[in-house]
Structures are given as structure tokens and as C-alpha cells.
Structure 1
């Protein structure tokens, strides 16, 4: 036997003996995916309206494909290990999930097909989109919210974001955080998250105030709305904005400094 063949056989043996800690829940995943697939194959049923009966035959269009995600929502897990998060997302009672989980060491777990709807956004709004889960991919970073993000983790995130951006043609402005879409209710990813580093690679917006001159009577609430924030709770929107774009300022409340208004104006111009 050649050395190469021996190595291959050894690897196969190793794989066959490797523990499969999520064998049971992976089986449930396959069952649910098959159930959804069967539903997609079902012929639509005609809809009778008053005395008008549907036709006795069906005309199925030949022009269709799968819906694709248009947003990426970034979270931190607020838990203490990747394994803890994997378990959380494989228990039905938690009713929470994400498409991807990225561990501190950079390992990426792809937990759900991108075309399927994960339960990660909850009650949220961004611009006119009120059902975030139906149009987004959720990415969870293993981080408890009180510590910087590991370099290898950020590296893996950047590679994943580049893949998703090109695969689904996601606009740069549509890479946002959970705290953006759910002000007050959520703060992730935390103030430690490197948004500027992501924006420099084309994932999310960042500001340049070097040539900004604020217009008279600049309306911060309207500007926040144009960027995408839900301003029904304007104070919460400002705090979410500040946490992302001016994390060094821990000021609470809706009053923005002139510097923050310039940041907001720069972002608003990019969003129009």
C-alpha cells in the first residue's frame, strides 16, 4: 500500500470514528427540510371568489427561483462558549437560531441553509422592513458582550461576509447589527465590535466628516430614519447609533453633539 493511500484510509477511519454530538438534531433538521421541500412541490390550489369558481386545470409559471437574502444581521451570542450557543440553537424550547455561528478560534458553523428563515432578529425594523428574519442572514459571534472580538474570529467573519455579499449581491449598507434593528431591546454586537474595519472592506457604512458642514436646522430624527433606524423611540435610536458610531461616548439620551450630528449627516448622504 502506498503512503498516500495509507493516509487516506487513516483519515477515513478517523472520520468514521469521530463523535457526532448533534446526530439527533441533525436528523430533525433533515426531516424539517424535507417537509418544507414537499410543501414547495405541492400544486397551488385555486381560490374561489364568491360565485366565481376556479378553473379545473392549473397553469404553473416556469419563471421562478428561490428568494434570496438581502440583509446580513450581526450578533454577539451573550454566552460563554461556542458549544453553549450550538446547544441553545439545537433545542426547540429556545425558539432562537442563526444561519452561522463563528467561534473565537475562527471556526464557522453553518447551521441553516441561507435560503431558509432563521429566528434571530425578533421584533425589529430597519427602514420599511418589518420582518427582518424573512429577508436576512443571521450571524452570531461567540462573545459574551464584555470583551473584544478575537482576531481570528473577525478574519473568518470577513471571509464569510465577502462570500455572502458576492453570492447574493447584498448592498454594503445592508450589513448591520442586531442593535441597529432593535434599539433598546438589543445592544449586540457590543461597543467592542470593529464596524469601521468591516466598512473599509465594503460591509456596512462608515462616516467621513472631514468636509461636512451641517445644514441649518438639521433634523436628526429624520436623518436617523433615512439611515434606517426606527425613530418611534428616538432616544433608543440615538443610543443605538452612538453605540455603533461613537462608542467612546457613553452619554444617554436623545441630544446629539455637533460631532455626532456630522457623523449622522455623512451617513445620511450615503443612504439617500
Structure 2
């Protein structure tokens, strides 16, 4: 019997990169293995501890969809180098999309398939954004590279499609450092304000308000979503995103900005 889920998973085998490269063959092999796992109801039933058990198919099901977009910088020297890195199985890393400095967009994993881009981290109570996000790698060495406007515009057009396709909330467009402040700083010096104006992520209001006397900065960071297990790293990640300042000290001038973002999450 054919079920909706199996038909949908079969569609996952379609890749946007044509040809018969070794990576393409491996991709198709792994997607086929996913299809077999979904259709293997017998072994799943056998693993259950109860003797009185059975399979009864339902018609009401769908593919699990992404609810976040996580933006990275590649820390490499070219789109081609990044693609090659993601095609080597030994690296165990990947991303759904790579956006080149020239505005070229390369898709490497289907939106509905789990890519290996987020790693260890936490946003709110979610400790596995690999399972709930789309990863986008921006071709940038992470130190001296600027962010060309053609690259940012290509990203914005991609985000428009993803936001509409998957109904992703505006607040759920994050940077890798937001999710993994204890490990990452990317994307570094990124134009988050420009993205927020287009509806991707939050930004602070122009007329900033002085926080009340009982305002707790760490609690505010936690409410926004940051992992505050290491407060200095959480502060640094926040400042990388909203203040473009690479340090872990909250100045008096930073507090109204934090308060403005905090209010958007209440």
C-alpha cells in the first residue's frame, strides 16, 4: 500500500544539483535508506514491548517541517571550497543552502531533510535545531570579508521563499552564535538590521526606552532565547547580533537595546 508520507519522501530524492557526482549518488542512496526506514513498519512494531500490537495506517500525516532558519558564515575561501567540504562524508557537516559572494544560491539538502549544521547549542528550550531548522551558509571567511549587497539580496530573496513556504515566524531567523554562544560567533558583523527590515528577525526600536529599575539583563536574555549558562558568552552573542560589538560586557548604553528586544518576546 502507498501512503502519503512515502510519496512525499520519494520526492525528497530530487536534488537541485544535477549530474552523477559521487556526492549525488551518496545523497540518493541515503534518501532511499530514509524511505526504507519509513516504510519498515514491521521492525518498528517488533521493537515495542507489548504483545498485543498491530499496524493500522492513517490517512492524516505529513512531513515534519522546519520552524527556524539558522544563518552561518562558512569561514572558508570560496563557495566551491564549502561545497567540497559538505560533500566529504568524513566532515559530517552540511547545510541546506550556500549563498555565494556573487549571489549564487546552491541548495545541497532538501528543506525537509535534517542537515548537520547547527551542532551543540540551545535556543529557548530547544537543544536540537538540526531537527527543526534550515541551515544557510554565507560564503564569507568570517574575519576580513565584507558582505556584498548582491549576496545579501540573494539571501533576502531566498528567505522570502522559505518564510512563505514553511510559515516561519519572523522571530525564528537566527544566527549560529545566537544558538551556540559558547562555541560560535557567526555570522560575524552581519547586516541583521537590513534583514529585520525585510521581516527576518527582530531589531530594536528607534526611540529607545530606559529600562525599569528592576530590569534583569540575564533574565531578558533568557526570555529572548539565549543560553545563559555562561552569561558572558550570552551577552557577547547578543551584542554580536544587535550591537555589532565583539565583547562580553553590557554597558549602560546597551541596556535600552536589550530592553527593546526583550519586550518583543513578551
Is the CA contact 1:74–1:140 (under 8 Å) kept in the aligned structure 2? yes
Q: TM-score, normalised by structure 2?
A: 0.88
2:220 aligns with one of 219, 223, 227: 223
Is the CA contact 1:209–1:263 (under 8 Å) kept in the aligned structure 2? no
2:242 corresponding residue in structure 1: 245
Is the CA contact 2:208–2:260 (under 8 Å) kept in the aligned structure 1? no
1:137 counterpart SS class: strand
1:183 aligns with one of 173, 178, 181: 181
Q: CA deviation at 1:54?
A: 2.2
Is the CA contact 2:171–2:200 (under 8 Å) kept in the aligned structure 1? yes
Q: CA deviation at 1:258?
A: 2.2
Give 4+ residue runs of structure 1 displaced > 3 Å after superposition.
Answer: 46-49
1:156 counterpart SS class: helix
| CA–CA separation in structure 2 for the residues paired with 1:22 and 1:62 | 35
Q: TM-score, normalised by structure 1?
A: 0.87
Q: CA deviation at 1:25?
A: 1.0
Q: CA deviation at 1:213?
A: 2.7
Is the CA contact 1:46–1:54 (under 8 Å) kept in the aligned structure 2? no
Aligned residues: 246
2:87 aligns with one of 57, 79, 90: 90
2:6 corresponding residue in structure 1: none
2:11 corresponding residue in structure 1: none
Q: CA deviation at 1:174?
A: 0.4
Distance change in 2, residues 1:83/1:222 (3 Å): same
1:158 counterpart SS class: helix
1:268 corresponding residue in structure 2: 262
Is the CA contact 1:80–1:143 (under 8 Å) kept in the aligned structure 2? yes
